[in-house]
Structure formats: C-alpha cells, structure tokens
Structure 1
Amino acid sequence: MAVSTSTPDKGVAVVTVDFPPVNALPVQGWYDLATALRAAGADPEVRCVVLAAAGRGFNAGVDIKEMQRTTGHDALIGANRGCYEAFAAVYECEVPVVAAVQGFCLGGGIGLVGNADAIVASDDAVFGLPELDRGALGAATHLARLVPQHLMRTLYYTSRTVSAEELHRHGSVWQVVPRDELAASALELAREIAAKDGYLIRLAKAAINGIDPVDVRRSYRFEQGFTFEANLSGVADRHRDSFVTGRSQDDNEREEER
C-alpha cells in the first residue's frame, strides 16, 4: 500500500495511489497523498501533475473499517483532517492537476477530482457520493464543481452514481476513453499542458484559483462540521457498522435489543 511519484515525461509527474483492494485510503494514506502532490507541484521541473490510481477503481473514499475498529474519535478526526489536506493539495498544487479516473470514484474520490484542473476518465468510470449511506456528510462542495446544482442535490440525497459519459456531456470530464487507453490519454493532455512556459503555467493556476466563486477549503470545512454532529448523535456509527457487517441498520438494532 503506497502513494508513489514517477516522471515519465519531461515536465510531467504522475502521482499514483495504490491501496488494494479498492483504494479506500486509511488516515495516513490521505496525508501521504497530500505530501506527494505538494512535493510534485513544488518541483521546478514539473509543469503538470497526473493523479492516477492502480487497480480496478480510482478511489473508494475513506477506510471505514479502520474507522470502526479504532476506539474513540481519533480515526474519524484523522480521516476528516487527512481528506481536507489531500483535497486542498490537489486544488493548491502549484501546477495543473489532471485526474485519470477508472472504475469507481466515490466519496473522497469526488473531493480529489472535483478539485482537479482536468479529468480524463475510462468509459467504465462512475462518480458518486454514498455519504448518507455511510453516516457521513461532505464533498458536496466538490460534486457541485462537476454537475449542475439540482443534479448535485439529487445525487447527494439518493447516493446514486453518474457515468463518465454524462459528466463529459456536462463539460466536467475532458475525455472518455477505453480503460486501456486511460493512462496514455491522461499523459497526452499533461504533455500538452507541460509544453507551456513553467512560470506562466504557475501564474495561470494561481490566477484561476483566485477567481473561483467558492472557497473550496472553507466550504468543505463547513460541511465537515455536520459529519461530526452526525457522529456525536450516534447515527453515523450505526450506518458505518451496517456497512462493515453487511447487515442493514434495522438488523443491527434488533441484534442490540436482544
């Protein structure tokens, strides 16, 4: 399990996440990802970063099993802070970030790609926030950067997913390609960006972030407060237990009564 960085082309760094089996990141994984992204962006030789993932899916969010087997609130606080740092590292990376997305992109994955500068996706990629089904709230900030407002709300309330092709129609996914062409297509876009003047591309990234209508860090931090409220109420634990055990919340409650 690791976050690694490679430089396959001049001016391009590829940060790859690999946490089998589904790229559900533990607390330390989010911090490691943030560190790798910030380091890549700070490298004066790098002009574009590709954020990629190994395995069958891009990202399945936080490691809920780690959270449920950890007593107290340390894992919950760690996951929230780690996600906050990783999402911010994508957004604040000094150079453009191209997300290369395959398979599932869920929960924290939305936070990553929603803050990316461009998205290339495989034709089997799906995007969604199952947060309400997992006893959490958050990343509506980032989903709202991918789809129109009312679609964002419907997806959030229902925990449904949306296809890469539909996001392409909305203009948030740059290109949809067969899975075996994903890496090459993402690199092709990164090379085009990296061919620009390194000083100017950094100025461009700072300028575009500066005119964003929503402060993504502040907006996401606001959302996170409601996750803590859900946890303190006990409802979050019940939903996470149901996910870990594979049993419905009603079944777990009946077991507790016995």
Structure 2
Amino acid sequence: MTLTIATWNINSVRLRIETVARFVAEHQPDVLCLQETKCIDGQFPLADVKRMGYEHTAIHGQKGYHGVAVFSRFALKDVDRKAFCDKNDARHIAVTLAEGPGAGTRIHNFYVPAGGDEPDPAINEKFAHKLGFLDEMEAWDALRVGGGASKTVLVGDLNIAPLEHDVWSSKQLTKVVSHTPLERRRLTEVATNGGWVDMMRALTPEPQKLYTWWSYRSPDWDAADKGRRLDHVWLSPALAPAMRQVKVLREARGWDRPSDHVPVVATLAL
C-alpha cells in the first residue's frame, strides 16, 4: 500500500482553484497540503475541493495573507493550529490520518515567513520574525521526532533553500533572503535537532540541482532556470524506510495563471 502526500504553495486558492483541480486530476494525491491560500475559512472553495474527491478537509485561513489547508481522501482527526511569535498568522495546521494506509500518521503543514528583502534582523522586522519563527519550531516538542516510533511528516513552504545546490547559484545568492548563511544554518538546526530526514535530498542527493520555485520576475523562467528549493518534505526516522519517490512537478510552473511554486509529491510505501 502506498500513500502520496503533495505540498504546494498555491498563492491564492480561489484564484487558482482550477489549477489545483488540474493537478489533482492528473496526479491524484491521497493528501494535498496547500500554503498561502489567502482567504478566510468562510470563503474557502470547499465545494470545489469535494468535487475533486476530497471529503476530508482541515483549513486555517486568513484574509488576503498566509493560510494553510489539508485535503485528504482519508478521515482526519486531532486537527491543531499553532500560533507562532505571538501572532495570529495562519501559518500552521496539523492533522492525523485516521484511516487508510497511513493511519496514525501525523502531518504538519507549514508556511514559514518569507523574511522580507534585507537579511538583518536589527533593521528588518520581517527577517527577525522569520528567525523567531524558526526558534519556536526548534523548541516545540511536537517537532522532535528523532529516536522514537513517531510516524510524522512535515511539509510546506519553509522559504529557505538550505543546501548549495538548492539554488541556481549559491555564491550569487549568499546575501539574498532564503539562502543566507544564517537562515541555512538555522533551518538545518531545526531539522537536525528535531531528528528529521530530508526526504527530497535523501532521494535526490547533492550535487544534483533541485528547485521548487521560480520567480515571477523572470521573463523566461524556464530558459533562465534560476530556481530555488523552498518547499520541503521531512520525515520522522520511523517513516524513512517507507520513502519511495519524490516528484517535483516543474511543468506546473508553465501552466496558465501559475503559482511561482510547483507541487511536490512524496510517495511512501506503508
């Protein structure tokens, strides 16, 4: 039995609901985790989601900003939404699969702050917020999964490309937010101290380039190929033996009205 979990920063779910429907029709993930949905819960297009075959949903919305959601073909339980940094931003939701091949698996869906343009917390409040968010992720007991039998998955737009080959040019981006040495070190510490396995890099090791995001500012994103790996799939050690495949749907960046991120689909054999 396999379980497929997809993660995608959709950059407005209402604006791109037909794009979501196309992805689901073509790839049929069992669980789809979205970030940056940008709408309050009462305006979420749940009827469209159900037509895609997802009877079970968990949403955490916010007007015009942020927002995370989980759609599932299997029943969900223990839905939690955690606030970080004393803000009410909708940046996290967690669910547990109550049935199916992944029954008992806990899924955390994150949208980490982007951090603004200036990588200096002393002068940039957004960057300070991002670092504080990472501090709280690292300190949270629920994200410490090493050494036990916990079946846990962490996915989402973590807004950091931690490795040299997670960006098109590490040298040129070393002072650019999302790939600064400080961010890279802090995200690595969150993963390492929590005991997480980076599924994408476990299956596609460096030095192979691996991107999930291409800027809207590039007039020809495909030819320029100046991407970054901002979207991640982490597993608890107990799930690591189950990992089989990760697909990055690069072609989705070229669809009509695309997000600047593309879907990432992880397959586990359970």
Instruction: Judge same fold: TM > 0.5, yes or no.
Output: no
**Greater Rg over alpha carbons, structure:** 1
TM-score with structure 1 length normalisation? 0.32
User: Of Structure 1 and Structure 2, which has the larger fraction of its residues in helix?
Assistant: 1
- Larger fraction in strand: 2
